[in-house]
A and B are shown apart, each in its own frame.
Chain A
Amino acid sequence: MSPHRLDSTFAALADPTRRAILARLASGQASVTELARPFAMTQPAISKHLRVLERAGLISRRRDAQRRPCRLEAKPLAQATEWLERYRQFWEGNFQRLDALLDELKTGERNARKKKRRRAKR
């Protein structure tokens, strides 16, 4: 994948509407009308998003058919998300351990407070 392509992939993914469009296409191809339906957006606005996704190679559209259904091109997306996914896994491992540590610290603090109260009562 060329650096330029990767760059445009991330730029395309930066927008929540475009991510939602890709999520919809992950479950099968759809026409512009079908894609526009869940959004409070005009068809030309959706078409603009589709052009950005198409330029980034994330979707393709059949030129011949009347409906011109859009379909997801999984490869560039997989390449772009692969790094993020690995990075996420690295941090998630760390953070799960941090969750456990924080639980331990919370219990420690609670017990320390209880002890203090008990001592104060005496």
Chain B
Amino acid sequence: MQKTGTLKLETRGDREIVMTRVFDAPRKLVWDALTKPELLKRWFFGPPGWSLIVCEVALHVGATYRYVWRGPDGTEMGMGGVCREFVPPERAVCTEKFDNPWYPGEALVTTTLVEQAGKTTLTLSVLYQSREAREAVLKTPMEQGVAMGYDRLAELLASPSAQATGKEAGAS
């Protein structure tokens, strides 16, 4: 089982980005933190100095949600979508489209929560409409990009999934 607090981020297939993170809390609490605006505003605001100024959540299938963030220089970034599946406290599927999109089409975001021994694993999958869309996301300019040294690289690659599995996997 993945350790609490370790964020795993990977690409899956050619249209998807998947993120997993374990929280030391029961699923019900994590679900609340993901769906209650007063709680979302306390953590879901990005880099320091930003805030979540609009937080309308979708709590049933067909409902729309909308988030707007504001940065320290007044820049605003908005996004929203429609809820396609809503199964508290374990699963939600929503479309995602940014006001100023940098990728074509919309993405489909699936959030799942699995509880085991009082800990909750959050899996967040973002499925883009095309491989070109995901590529556009992956190519987003990184103005704060830091050149990585070999040490940092090794650390990044030495995640549990990067260990030798002992299985004979085909080189596809």
Contacts and interface: CB of A to CB of B under 8 A. Distances in A.
Interface string A92-113: 1111011111110110010000
Contacts of B47: 90, 93
Interface string B109-132: 000000000000000000000011
Contacts of B44: 94, 98
Given A81-B148, A102-B33, A17 B169 contact: yes
Interface in A1-29: 3, 6-7, 10-11, 13-20, 22-23, 26-27
Given A16-B161, A80-B138, A74 B153 contact: yes
A49 interface: yes
Interface stretch (B17-25, B57-65, B80-88, B91-99): B17-25
Contacts of B131: 7
Contacts of A103: 24-25
A80 B1 CA distance: 27
A88 B33 contact: no
Interface residues of B, number: 58
B157 A23 contact: yes
A109 B29 contact: yes
B75 interface: no
B30 to A, nearest CB: 7
Given A38-B164, A94-B45, A102 B23 contact: yes
B153 A78 contact: yes
Given A7-B14, A7-B135, A74-B148, A98 B23 contact: yes
B138 A19 contact: no
A68 interface: no
Contacts of A49: 171
B72 interface: no
Contacts of B74: none
Contacts of A18: 171
Contacts of A93: 46-48
B168 interface: yes
Given A10-B138, A83-B139, A92 B7 contact: yes
A98 B29 CA distance: 10
Contacts of B5: 95, 99
13 contacts: A6-B138, A10-B138, A51-B171, A81-B156, A83-B142, A85-B156, A92-B7, A93-B48, A101-B39, A103-B24, A103-B25, A105-B29, A105-B33
Interface of A: 3, 6-7, 10-11, 13-20, 22-23, 26-27, 38-42, 45, 48-49, 51-52, 72, 74, 77-78, 80-88, 90-95, 97-103, 105-106, 109
